[in-house]
Structure 1
Amino acid sequence: MAELNEQIRDWVVAPNFWHLATVNQDGSPQVSPMWIDVEGGFIVFNTAIGRVKEENLRRDPRVSLSCLDTVDPYDRVVIHGRAVEFVEGDEADRCMDRLAKKYVGTDRFEWRIPGERRVKVLVEPTRVRHVVGVEPFRRGRLG
């Protein structure tokens, strides 16, 4: 598991919007803006059961998350990882309420759809990068 250093953890703990990329069944990317947080060394987010991202992650756990500074879009964080746990029921509902408190200041997630079931997803980070400016080329990639 890649470590979330203090600087990266600060990005995750702040109410920043992150883009979550998963892999569709046909291999194409699927991207969703997400609320996220951290639990221990894991990234956590929440979605409804039956959403494309949830189905994609149960089939292929690879995930990429990215966030950029809204003041300086050349300052950004990218986290690669894999979904390692899916938690349903009361714990998932409490997680969604915590995220709502963090992002919109309400005690409960107020946009639930009747009959919707939530799932908390824990992601194990495998690679974490903080990039400011133009990312350098990887060795051996220049013509």
Structure 2
Amino acid sequence: MAELSEQVREWIAAAKFWHLATVNRDGSPHVSPMWIDVEGDHIVFNTAVGRVKEENLRHDPRVSLSCMDTDNPYDRVVIHGRVVEFVEGDEAELCMDRLAKKYVGTDRFEWRIPGERRVKILVEPTRARHVVGVEPFRRGIGPDA
């Protein structure tokens, strides 16, 4: 598990929108804007059972999350990880309400669809980095390789 730096935790604590990338069954990417938070050392987000992202993650637990500063798109955070737990029931509903409080200021998530079942998803980060400007080439790749 990668440790989340204080700077990355500050980005997660803010009500910033993140892009979640998952892998479709055919190997193509699927990207969704998400509300996220942190619980201990895990990233947490919420969705409904049956959504594409939920089905993708049950098949392939790898995720990538990215977020950019809206005032400076060259300032960004990227987190890679894997899903380690799916939680349904009351805990998932409470998680969704906590995210709604953080992001829109309401005590409850007001956009529930009748009959939907929420699922809280916990991600173990395997790599997290804050990048400002252009990323350097990886070792062995680039003009001086």
Structure 2 unaligned blocks of 5 or more? none
* Matches of 2:14 and 2:65, distance apart in 1: 15
Stretches of 4+ aligned residues off by more than 3 angstroms: none
Residue number in structure 1 paired with 2:103: 103
TM-score (norm 2): 0.98
What do you get for the CA RMSD once the two structures are aligned?
Answer: 0.6
Structure 1 unaligned blocks of 5 or more? none
Aligned length: 143
* Matches of 1:74 and 1:61, distance apart in 2: 28
Residue number in structure 2 paired with 1:125: 125
* Matches of 1:23 and 1:37, distance apart in 2: 21
- Equivalences for residues 1-143 of structure 1 within 5 A: 1-143=1-143
The one-letter code matched in structure 2 to 1:52 is: V
Equivalent residue of 1:86, what SS? strand
* Matches of 1:92 and 1:142, distance apart in 2: 45
The one-letter code matched in structure 2 to 1:42 is: H
CA-to-aligned-CA distance 1:90-120 (integer Å, 9 cap, x gap): 0000000000000000000000000000000
* Matches of 1:82 and 1:137, distance apart in 2: 25
TM-score (norm 1): 0.99
* Matches of 2:127 and 2:11, distance apart in 1: 15
* Matches of 2:142 and 2:105, distance apart in 1: 48
The one-letter code matched in structure 1 to 2:137 is: F
Instruction: Indicate the percent of aligned positions where both proteins have the same amino acid.
Output: 83
- 1:142 Cα offset (Å): 1.7
